[in-house]
Amino acid sequence: MALTPAEKQRRYRLKLKLDPVKNDEAKRKHLERYHAKKNSERYD
């Protein structure tokens, strides 16, 4: 049985949360993207 994209993403995120190193890396990247977007010229 094939998985829907939502199920695949749910499993991927769960797998990320179980690995502390990968989880920290993902959080750091998300924070960098957030700040880059917030500080971009587009929002000024």
Alpha-helical (H) ranges within the chain are: 5-18, 20-38
The pTM of the full predicted model, rounded to 2 decimals, is 0.62
Arithmetic mean of pLDDT, 2-19: 94
Structure tokens at 9: 């993403």
> Side chain identity at 11, as an amino acid letter?
R
Q: Average pLDDT of the chain?
A: 90
For residue 43, is pLDDT > 80? Answer: no
Q: What is the mean pLDDT of residues 2-24?
A: 94
Q: What is the predicted pLDDT for the residue at 39?
A: 87
Summarize the confidence of residues 23-29 as an average pLDDT. 94
Q: What tokens does 10 get?
A: 């749910």
